[in-house]
């Protein structure tokens, strides 16, 4: 294991206290390690980004890579994780036992003298707590689904009621139109009958006048 920088411990603690982004500089092949005591079941999620210095600017370089290793210092430095990432990526680790763990990061590049900048963002949570949170989220989601289903059912009932009212109004309108039409025909027949009666009456009247 290469030289371990003491200030790295403080940086790692800062990470665990919720600092969104922390970075360090290292040459290709240089390893920097940090220590943290974890409890059994703790889940660590890391998000990593690697940049290479080029004419005073740090840029992404697909030729760069980052190796992450995790050792259990309490168990004779037993290595429980060894993962190689590209210039950007993430990793997850679950503590199988409680105790001090060593996290080491080794950036590498084809150019050995290259200066690299590593961004690290870490989050630690308990697996059981996360499972509980997932269950709470699932229950909350189920509750929202039930509410949406009930709301949808209520909307459908309102739509059915509106359709029934529309059908009733349409039937009433058709019935009213039918009655109006029937009454109009009846009035027309009465008018025709009256006209016929008056014509016959006048005809008979004039016939009688001629006879006299």
Render pLDDT for 86-145 as a digit per residue (tens, 0 to 9): 888 888 888 888 889 998 999 988 888 889 998 888 787 765 555 565 666 677 777 787
**Burial, 119: exposed, middle or buried (Cβ in 10 Å; 0-12, 13-18, 19+)?**
middle
> Does residue 21 fall inside a structural domain?
yes
- Look up the domain containing 33 and give its range: 7-126
> Does residue 171 fall inside a structural domain?
no
Q: What tokens were used for 111?
A: 């150019």
> Does residue 12 fall inside a structural domain?
yes
> Does residue 49 fall inside a structural domain?
yes
Model confidence at 154, in pLDDT bands (50, 70, 90)?
confident
Q: What tokens were used for 133?
A: 């949170």
> Does residue 71 fall inside a structural domain?
yes
Q: What tokens were used for 58?
A: 């740090």
Number of domains in the chain: 1
DSSP 123-141: EEEEHHHHHHHHHHHHHHH
Report pLDDT for 23.
81
> Does residue 56 fall inside a structural domain?
yes
Can you give the CATH number for the domain in which 117 is found? 2.60.120.680
pTM of the entire predicted model = 0.50
Torsion of CA 77, 81, 85, 91, to 10 degrees: -120
CA-wise closest residue to 138 among 130, 126, 148, 127: 130
> Does residue 185 fall inside a structural domain?
no
Render pLDDT for 57-66 as a digit per residue (tens, 0 to 9): 888 888 888 8
> Does residue 75 fall inside a structural domain?
yes
């Amino acid at each position: 294991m290469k030289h371990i920088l003491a200030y790295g411990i403080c940086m790692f603690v800062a990470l665990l206290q919720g600092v969104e982004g922390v970075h360090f500089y290292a040459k290709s092949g240089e390893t920097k390690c940090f220590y943290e005591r974890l409890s059994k079941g703790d889940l660590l999620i890391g998000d990593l980004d690697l940049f290479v210095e080029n004419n005073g600017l740090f840029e992404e370089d697909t030729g760069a890579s980052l190796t992450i290793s995790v050792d259990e210092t309490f168990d004779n430095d037993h290595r429980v994780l060894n993962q190689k990432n590209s210039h950007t990526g993430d990793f997850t680790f679950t503590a199988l036992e409680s105790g001090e763990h060593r996290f080491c990061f080794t950036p590498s590049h084809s150019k050995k003298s290259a200066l690299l900048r590593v961004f690290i963002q870490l989050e630690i949570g308990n697996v059981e707590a996360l499972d509980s949170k997932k269950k709470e989220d699932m229950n909350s989601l189920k509750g929202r689904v039930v509410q949406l289903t009930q709301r949808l059912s209520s909307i459908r009932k309102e739509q059915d009621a509106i359709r029934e009212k529309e059908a009733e109004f349409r039937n009433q309108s058709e019935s009213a139109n039918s009655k109006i039409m029937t009454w109009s025909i009846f009035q027309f027949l009465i008018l025709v009958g009256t006209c016929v009666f008056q014509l016959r009456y006048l005809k008979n009247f004039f016939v009688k006048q001629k006879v006299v």
